[in-house]
Chains A and B, each alone.
Chain A
Amino acid sequence: GNSVTQMEGPVTLSEEAFLTINCTYTATGYPSLFWYVQYPGEGLQLLLKATKADDKGSNKGFEATYRKETTSFHLEKGSVQVSDSAVYFCALSLKDTGRRALTFGSGTRLQVQP
């Protein structure tokens, strides 16, 4: 089956530190990959996506590269801000007729301290 594994949180960083949140996947096919972010008290927002190997998704200073050889899609940001504190979810979708569209990881909480 399809699955997504994320690093356990919480991740606690100081402002302007470098961020990496690891995500690896297992899929019976060639998935599209996504990162979603959930700020406190809100729903999930699509942060970035990549649909084929070596694609790099980017948004708001965050980046992730689709690595087929390592089945990974790690999220990075060069300099985090307090406002980046949220829960980050890695997800995949696979065109599999009649089944769910997105498989989510368990989420990683990021706490950025001033």
Chain B
Amino acid sequence: ETGVTQTPRHLVMGMTNKKSLKCEQHLGHNAMYWYKQSAKKPLELMFVYNFKEQTENNSVPSRFSPECPNSSHLFLHLHTLQPEDSALYLCASSQEIVYEQYFGPGTRLTVT
């Protein structure tokens, strides 16, 4: 398998649930990213990891908790979400933090 994969592709969860999104990159990259894409809004960068270290957190609410156990895997743990958190969550990776990013297909999250 090549590129950047994300699971699950679709997720429906209630506001009291706990779930996790998974991202895996097979490109040998060192930087990984989480983005949120909502309808009619620009792409929002959420978190940046460089060599497994978090280098950026763009004022993301604590109900979103990232985890990067190694350079190939990135998780986004979700708990007590709100309906406005419904969006497409995109993972990306890049060789280094300044190079072009390669995106996964995204997880479509619906919070009921």
Contact = CB atoms under 8 A, between A and B. Distances in A.
B105 A101 contact: no
Interface on chain B toward A: helix, strand, loop, or mixed SS?
strand
Interface in A82-97: 89, 93-95
B100 A43 contact: no
Given A46-B100, A93-B99, A101 B106 contact: no
A101 B48 contact: yes
B98 A93 contact: yes
B92 to A, nearest CB: 8
Nearest to A42: B105
Interface residues of A, number: 23
* Residue of B42, B55, B94, B102 with most partner-chain A CB within 10 A: B42
Contacts of B94: 101
A23 to B, nearest CB: 14
A101 B104 contact: no
Interface in A28-82: 32, 34, 36, 41-46, 49
Interface in B89-103: 90, 92, 94, 97-103
Interface of B: 4, 6, 31, 33, 42-43, 45, 48, 55-56, 90, 92, 94, 97-106
